[in-house]
Amino acid sequence: MTRTCALTLLALAVASPARGASTTAWFSDPGSAACTPLQAVRGVACKGRFCDDLQLTCDSFPGRFYSGYRWTEWFSEEGTNHASCAENEVMTGLRCAGDFCDQLSLRCQRTDQTLNRCSWVGPYSEEQHPYVDNQGRYMRGMWCTGNYCDNKWYLMCEAPLPTPPPQVSLLGYTGCPSGAADCNVCANDVEAQVADAFSASYPRTTWAGQSWSLSWGARYLPYYLTPAEVFDDGELPVPSHHVQGFARTNSTSFPYVGTYSDDTTGSLFILGSGTTPALRYIHRSNTVHPSGVHALGRYAAFAEDDNLRLVDLSRAGVQTDLRYLIPRDDPFSAGMNRAGGGIGLARLAAGGYLLVATTPGGDDLSRPRWTYFYHLAGSLEAPAARYLGAWAYEQPISWNQDYSRAENLSVITECGTGRLYVLHTYGHYEPWLNGYWRLSRVEAGPLGPKLRPVASYLQPQDFFGCHHRSAATAFVAPDHIVDFYCHEYDASYEGYAQGTMQFTVGRNYTR
């Protein structure tokens, strides 16, 4: 009987076309190998007596993978000597058992493509060169003859090529004045400013702690929610729900906003101006786990699952539900998927807006990190959203640690050039481990926008003033200088409800 793993209709993510082939480790009886997510088998190599040791060559597959897979029945030359995946499946792994890998089973994964123009190639054994297809085909079946299934034939099939997404100019609008409704001020020489801020030898940024106040039991407009309802999940000693984002805004009346996850009620909180800012409004989120927050013009923007939510800060005290669905029109129907790695917006010089969303967030390294790009045409409050492309994280080989993870991001437009930059931030839960800032430049690729990592910078973090795992973002001030903000982890610690929350501001002192 065929063994089948659970199959869901949830797509994994968007494939990054033409990322290059990779090989698995060699395996033998009993053993198995599988392609990394989003790849399928393009070839098989073997060595040893009777093709005892096997290795797969995998490459990016131009279509949608559905989660789940199945193993075919075992086959060998002694009985049924072949197995194939279905027409809407592709081979993503292989396992063997018995002497000299005599018994074989294929791992088949369902796709949204129908593989066609199939033909058998072979035979191949340890006496021949490894077989790797060079015609853009993928493996769907296998059969064998000879002692111990020594001679192998492979069923190779074509998969339709994906349709390239629409091309959009990726230059940001540089003429935005301070206080504009739908854009942010540009920044001078972004790469140099960020480098100066974190330079080990001559940093030009001073970091100072600040706080904001709240009344734990008071009800706040416009949804009459209390901080106790939205900032405390009851877990001890350290709550698992915490600040998700914190950002400086363009509003003089409401200079700071943040998002907060909770076991029952996610929220956006808005602070009023003052020597010590104070909590003024709490907006109910439509999900218990909103994304980080980004300010654009007079709006605070954050993700609620597949929806982009906007709160107009000129109407901060009014109940509004200004949100719209970001369609899952990417090749994998994955969508921005809660944008757990951060969300940001920029007005484009050619019209419309660029929406940038990274997913997933958190610490899980078993899944690749993707950044999705969408074009928003028309009014910011009622745009037509269109998928532009996706980029799978990769970093320069010279970087000395993994910088793939993210929880928040900021999108910055450079004055003069119009270049767009994305500044991702992340930190571990443990406060004694560093946080980091990762700067990338938005560039056009053959299949849509991509990010080119520029630099990464480590920074100490702690629970009570600057916790990058919770919230760290950048803001361009009216003088075109980049300022940096990070926030503490949580509003309650070891059951103690705080009357103030702490955050840290990094400002260039040479301005």
pLDDT more than 90, % of the chain: 63
Q: What is the pTM of this model?
A: 0.74
Statement: residue 326 has pLDDT above 90: yes
Quick one: 305 and 430 in the same domain? yes
Residue 75 is predicted with a pLDDT of: 94
Instruction: Please provide residue 101's backbone torsions phi and psi, each rounded to the nearest 5 degrees.
Output: 55, 45
Statement: residue 20 has pLDDT above 70: no
Domain CATH number, residue 479: 2.115.10
Quick one: 274 and 345 in the same domain? yes
- Distances in Å between the alpha carbon of 374 and those of 299, 308, 358, 359? 18, 11, 12, 14
Mean pLDDT across the chain, nearest whole number? 88
pLDDT in tens, 410-449: 999 999 999 999 999 999 877 677 899 999 999 998 778 9
pLDDT in tens, 158-209: 987 666 667 889 999 999 999 999 999 999 999 999 999 988 777 789 999 9
Quick one: 322 and 449 in the same domain? yes
Of the two residues 496 and 121, the one the predictor is more confident about is 121
Q: For 170-207, what is the HEC assignment?
A: CCECCCCCCCCCCCCCCECCHHHHHHHHCCCCCCCEEE
Task: Please check whether residue 164 lies inside any domain of the structure.
Answer: no
Residue 5 is predicted with a pLDDT of: 33
Cβ atoms 411, 354 nearer than 8 A: yes
pLDDT-derived band at 3 (thresholds 50, 70, 90) equals very low
Quick one: 125 and 227 in the same domain? no
pLDDT in tens, 126-136: 777 788 887 88
pLDDT-derived band at 332 (thresholds 50, 70, 90) equals low
Task: Please check whether residue 8 lies inside any domain of the structure.
Answer: yes
- Distances in Å between the alpha carbon of 450 and those of 16, 166, 374, 414, 422? 10, 14, 12, 17, 11
User: What is the average per-residue pLDDT within 106-118?
Assistant: 88
pLDDT more than 70, % of the chain: 91
Quick one: 352 and 304 in the same domain? yes
Residues with Cβ < 8 Å from 272, sequence gap 6 or more? 253, 254, 278, 279, 280
Instruction: Give me the residue label for tokens 């705080």.
Output: 498
Quick one: 316 and 439 in the same domain? yes
Q: Let me know how long the chain is.
A: 511
Strand, coil or helix: what is 315? helix
Cα-Cα-Cα-Cα torsion 375, 173, 446, 114, nearest 10 degrees, comes to: 0
Quick one: 133 and 202 in the same domain? no
Task: Please check whether residue 183 lies inside any domain of the structure.
Answer: no
Of the two residues 509 and 185, the one the predictor is more confident about is 185
Quick one: 92 and 213 in the same domain? no
Cβ atoms 466, 211 nearer than 8 A: no
Q: What is the CA radius of gyration of the chain?
A: 26
Cβ atoms 146, 76 nearer than 8 A: no
Residue 291 is predicted with a pLDDT of: 97
Least confident of 154-168, 265-279, 356-370, 485-499: 485-499
Statement: residue 18 has pLDDT above 60: no
d(CA 118, CA 140) in angstroms, rounded, equals 9
d(CA 502, CA 126) in angstroms, rounded, equals 65
Quick one: 85 and 199 in the same domain? no
pLDDT in tens, 354-399: 999 999 888 877 677 889 999 999 999 999 999 998 888 888 989 9
Task: Please check whether residue 328 lies inside any domain of the structure.
Answer: yes
Strand, coil or helix: what is 498? coil
Quick one: 198 and 144 in the same domain? no
Task: Please check whether residue 178 lies inside any domain of the structure.
Answer: no
Domain interval for residue 61: 3-158
Residue 68 is predicted with a pLDDT of: 77
pLDDT in tens, 212-237: 999 988 999 999 999 989 997 666 66
d(CA 478, CA 330) in angstroms, rounded, equals 36
Task: Please check whether residue 72 lies inside any domain of the structure.
Answer: yes
H or E stretch covering 271: strand 267-272
Residue 496 is predicted with a pLDDT of: 57
Task: Please check whether residue 180 lies inside any domain of the structure.
Answer: no
Task: Please check whether residue 45 lies inside any domain of the structure.
Answer: yes
pLDDT-derived band at 238 (thresholds 50, 70, 90) equals low
At which of 106, 140, 158 does a domain end?
158
Split into its structural domains, the chain has a count of 2
- Distances in Å between the alpha carbon of 500 and those of 7, 202, 229, 264, 469? 47, 33, 16, 22, 20
Residue 21 is predicted with a pLDDT of: 80
At which of 135, 158, 181 does a domain end?
158
Statement: residue 495 has pLDDT above 60: no
Instruction: Give me the residue label for tokens 């995998």.
Output: 58
Tokens (6 digits) for 301: 């923007």
Cβ atoms 209, 461 nearer than 8 A: no
Residue 200 is predicted with a pLDDT of: 79
Residue 415 is predicted with a pLDDT of: 98
Quick one: 149 and 246 in the same domain? no
At which of 158, 181, 215 does a domain end?
158
- Distances in Å between the alpha carbon of 292 and those of 268, 271, 304, 493? 10, 16, 10, 21
- Distances in Å between the alpha carbon of 41 and those of 34, 37, 94, 106? 9, 11, 9, 11
Most confident of 58-72, 351-365, 402-416: 402-416
Quick one: 377 and 271 in the same domain? yes
